[in-house]
Structure 1
Amino acid sequence: MNARRSSPFSIRTVLGLVLFGAIAFIAMLYFIGAGDTGKGGNDGRAHAASNGLNGFSGFAKLLELEGYDVNVSRSPSGLDTYGLLVLTPPSYFDAEELAELLEKREDYGPTIVILPKWYASQIPKRLPKKVREQMDVEIKDGWVRLNGAQAGDWTKDLPSPYGFTSTGETLEAGDGRQWEGMGLRGKLPSGSLVYAESSNVHEPLVSDAAGHVLALSVLGEEGSDYYENAHWALFVVEPDLLNNYGLAEAANAQLATAIIDYVRHQDNKSVTFDLTLNGFGGEANLLTLAFTPPFLAATLCMILALLVIAWRAFMRFGPARAEGPAIAFGKQRLIANGAGLILRGRRFGLLTTPYVALMARRLQARLGLVKPDHGMIDQALAHRLPQDEPFTNRAAALRKARRPSEILRAAEALHELERKLIQ
């Protein structure tokens, strides 16, 4: 029996839960679409999302303040930009992969490759008390300790005209070395230096006092297809010119903007910093995939279903109805359910033998017999009802019956014996 009762939640509570869920869902879609799914970029490595000394977040921020359209890309599609692309490959990078990318960029737009240099490790937040007392500032996320510098040897494996040999050295005094180029002069922040050997297919842009090439532009051989048609590629061999460590010097910041102005198209101020080479790349995110055919149809159906469910929930008339149990309690209901199951399955033959045994026990009780033996029941009935058909004959007729009407007539014949004994 159904009963009505008031809802345990008020309409305001339900509305608040629905609104909270909708806001949370929209926020989830935003973070998925933005590529921010929990993996932070400030991991102490040399890329545009890192705030460490070896990172380039300061370079990206500087260009943004200078009015450039800066994009820090975590998607492989960002490599196909027609604007300026800045690559920061890690140490021991695959030269073939970079060569393939640079050759593809010849038809897209200019490219800057900032080579790796430093071996760095993140500073742990829990330092010994003595060390903390000696430090004047609080350690922040992404800060690193520079453990050493080394020039990458994979640049020589790049194909012509990109390939060159890079070398590293460290000054004994440990003081930074002076650099000069593009009408500017400055000083490197450390005594560790990485430079490239001169080549006739490269144009030196920045050099130190000893003539070591710190940044170069790839020109190619004069008259070649690259020289005539390809977009420029520029290598910053010494990353301290542009990383957070070096940008503490004003002259290095001026050099950073000068390099960008030199290599980019005059009418395109778009600059993309790629993070896919540093392990932050991925395919199309779930949000983009959900709104792309053939998944778009399923997404629209899901949104429509959510709207229908919401409309149905708020347009329901009256409080929720408390439904009773599907199967009622009690012997009568149990018998009715069992009979209904047999009736639905049309297994009437299963009733005959149990009914014969049931009637034998009941006649045994009426006749005062010790046990429900069929022969003893026939003998007792012969004295009480000598004119009636014996019990065994009626029981055999019930067992042989197959159709419902035959089973019913035979069962009534057995029950007739009990009824006559009661009278």
Structure 2
Amino acid sequence: MSQGVAFSRGGTLALLAVGFALFLALIWLIASGDEFGGGGNNGQAHAAGKGLNGYVGLTRLLEAEGYDVTRSRSPAGLESEGLLVLTPPPATDPEELGELLRKRENIGPTLIILPKWSAERPPPILPSEVRQKFKPGWVVLTDAYELEWPTKLPAPYAFEHKLETLEADEEPGWDGFGLSGQLPTRRILFTSEKDIHEPLLFDAAGHWLALRVLGEEDSDYYQDAHWTLFLADPDFANNYGLADEARAAAMLALVREGTYQGDITDITFDLTLNGFGASENLLTLAFRPPFLAATLCLLLALLIIGWRAFQRFGPAATGNGPAIAFGKERLIANGAGLILRARRFGLLGAPYAALSARRIADRLGLARHDTGAIDAALARRLPNEEPFSRRAARLESTDRPADILSAAQALDDLTAKL
């Protein structure tokens, strides 16, 4: 009976195709990271936040305006030559942010939106029908705060971040870029005034709500550095503030300022400062330039190897190889065929008995292959076994194939027991 194969050629090809498709899907999932399934909507102030203090609305607004918006979870996004939007958290390290801003001077413009609100999940004291209306990522704004770390930024970026609460009879007005309107609350954040900074947005009292860093006149920064902009009060940019058309228009004007009046169309919102950074891995790097060419060559080589694997190089090899060498096997087959054709089965018994005597004597440690000596030694080793002489006599006395096979098997059993 011929030996079957586990899979046909078509089945093997299907397994390879499905495995390769799953491998590509794995790479895509790894590259997607937390974006797969909408991760990142944790109620904090960043580009993935859908709460009042988040900036999802700003990213969608800019996309609607024709900008190419990217939400970056990779440190490589910090090297974008387009406008980089940073939304640092309250506990930002000023030295690390200052080092990043220095690198950006020679790469591209940067817009920093400072945080303002303490946000919390809906409190349990709310009625259940109210809590059920809250969607994932929604928050309650509790209090505004000013930051200390902007004063520790390196020159020329450093400034004081201040908070002012207006009286009930004061209007929280603002103006800038030829626009004006009202802020959503009477708690306003602004910056200190410096000669090396240029104001872009003001409140009703003339405080600076947004600025552009100029640097010392005639300095290298003043002459060559890309623009860096700070938005002190994020109620122009967050989902809360963009509910007003005038504030949304002011935010678009501020972005146009950072993109050199629209000369830059690429805008990257960084999420690594907010704890959503993901390190590069070999799988995703393999499908990005300049490694993409090597990956394509490897895939092509695998395709060629797979195609050749389905082609026959020669006759199929047997699974375990011949039991004995080809020449001996042919000699035995020829001899057996000759005996079979001559019907001289009686010639097989005596030679096989003598061969068995030699094997059994060697196992018993006997110098002579004498039948009597073998029987005596067997009586000591295996007293309950039939003597060798009787088994050999039975083999030598028969000429029927079935009897020859049975007698030879008895001798082999004795050899195996020893």
Q: TM-score range by the shorter chain?
A: 0.5 to 0.7
1:308 aligns to 2:305 (yes or no)? yes
Aligned to 2:127: 131
Between the aligned partners of 2:376 and 2:109, the Cα distance in structure 1 is 111
The code of the aligned residue for 1:134 comes to V
Aligned to 1:278: 274
Deviates more, 1:246-255 or 1:41-50: 41-50
Q: Secondary structure at the match of 1:4?
A: coil
Q: Secondary structure at the match of 1:21?
A: helix
The code of the aligned residue for 1:286 comes to L
- Shift in Å, 1:113: 0.8
The residue correspondences of 1:399-418 to structure 2 (distance < 5 A) are none
Report if aligned partners of 2:181, 2:247 keep a CA contact under 8 Å in 1: yes
Q: Deviations over 1:212-248 (max 9, x none)?
A: 2211111223333322332221110001111111101
Pick closer, same or farther for the CA change 1:207–1:35 going to 2, 3 Å. same
The code of the aligned residue for 1:73 comes to S
Aligned to 1:61: 60
Query: Normalised by the size of structure 1, how large is the TM-score?
Result: 0.67
Q: Secondary structure at the match of 1:206?
A: strand
- Shift in Å, 1:262: 1.9
Deviates more, 1:160-169 or 1:216-225: 216-225
2:365 aligned to which of 345, 356, 363: 356
1:197 aligned to which of 192, 197, 210: 192
The code of the aligned residue for 2:264 comes to N
Between the aligned partners of 2:282 and 2:168, the Cα distance in structure 1 is 54
The residue correspondences of 1:107-126 to structure 2 (distance < 5 A) are 107-122=106-121
Report if aligned partners of 2:122, 2:131 keep a CA contact under 8 Å in 1: no
Aligned to 1:182: 177
- Shift in Å, 1:356: 1.9
The residue correspondences of 1:261-272 to structure 2 (distance < 5 A) are 261-266=256-261, 267-272=263-268
Between the aligned partners of 1:192 and 1:325, the Cα distance in structure 2 is 88
Deviates more, 1:363-372 or 1:19-28: 363-372
Report if aligned partners of 2:361, 2:374 keep a CA contact under 8 Å in 1: no
Q: Secondary structure at the match of 1:280?
A: coil
User: What is the aligned residue count?
Assistant: 340
Report if aligned partners of 1:79, 1:274 keep a CA contact under 8 Å in 2: yes
Aligned to 1:40: 39
Between the aligned partners of 1:240 and 1:369, the Cα distance in structure 2 is 104
1:25 aligned to which of 11, 23, 26: 23
Between the aligned partners of 1:108 and 1:356, the Cα distance in structure 2 is 90
Pick closer, same or farther for the CA change 1:37–1:354 going to 2, 3 Å. farther
Report if aligned partners of 2:72, 2:271 keep a CA contact under 8 Å in 1: yes
The residue correspondences of 1:85-104 to structure 2 (distance < 5 A) are 85-104=84-103
Structure with the larger RCO, 1 or 2 (CA within 8 Å, 6+ apart): 1
The code of the aligned residue for 2:161 comes to S
Report if aligned partners of 1:121, 1:147 keep a CA contact under 8 Å in 2: yes
- Shift in Å, 1:3: 3.8
The code of the aligned residue for 2:309 comes to R
Between the aligned partners of 2:35 and 2:312, the Cα distance in structure 1 is 38
Q: Deviations over 1:125-168 (max 9, x none)?
A: xx78x73313573x322222323221110000012221111122
The code of the aligned residue for 2:365 comes to V
User: Mind listing any 5+ residue stretches in structure 1 that lack a counterpart?
Assistant: 328-350, 373-423
The code of the aligned residue for 1:277 comes to L
1:221 aligned to which of 216, 219, 225: 216
Report if aligned partners of 1:75, 1:282 keep a CA contact under 8 Å in 2: yes
Alignment RMSD (CA, Å): 4.1
The code of the aligned residue for 1:356 comes to G
Aligned to 2:391: none
Q: Secondary structure at the match of 2:102?
A: helix
Between the aligned partners of 2:127 and 2:225, the Cα distance in structure 1 is 53
- Shift in Å, 1:274: 1.6
1:76 aligns to 2:75 (yes or no)? yes
The code of the aligned residue for 1:63 comes to L
Pick closer, same or farther for the CA change 1:165–1:309 going to 2, 3 Å. same
Between the aligned partners of 2:85 and 2:286, the Cα distance in structure 1 is 30
Q: Percent identity?
A: 45
- Shift in Å, 1:257: 0.9
Pick closer, same or farther for the CA change 1:368–1:37 going to 2, 3 Å. same
- Shift in Å, 1:182: 1.7
Report if aligned partners of 1:364, 1:370 keep a CA contact under 8 Å in 2: no
Pick closer, same or farther for the CA change 1:352–1:219 going to 2, 3 Å. farther
Report if aligned partners of 1:176, 1:189 keep a CA contact under 8 Å in 2: no
Report if aligned partners of 2:285, 2:291 keep a CA contact under 8 Å in 1: no
Report if aligned partners of 1:174, 1:192 keep a CA contact under 8 Å in 2: no
Pick closer, same or farther for the CA change 1:305–1:14 going to 2, 3 Å. closer
Report if aligned partners of 2:361, 2:368 keep a CA contact under 8 Å in 1: no
1:156 aligns to 2:154 (yes or no)? no
- Shift in Å, 1:258: 0.7
The code of the aligned residue for 1:276 comes to T
Report if aligned partners of 1:182, 1:255 keep a CA contact under 8 Å in 2: yes
Between the aligned partners of 2:145 and 2:322, the Cα distance in structure 1 is 77
Report if aligned partners of 1:364, 1:371 keep a CA contact under 8 Å in 2: no
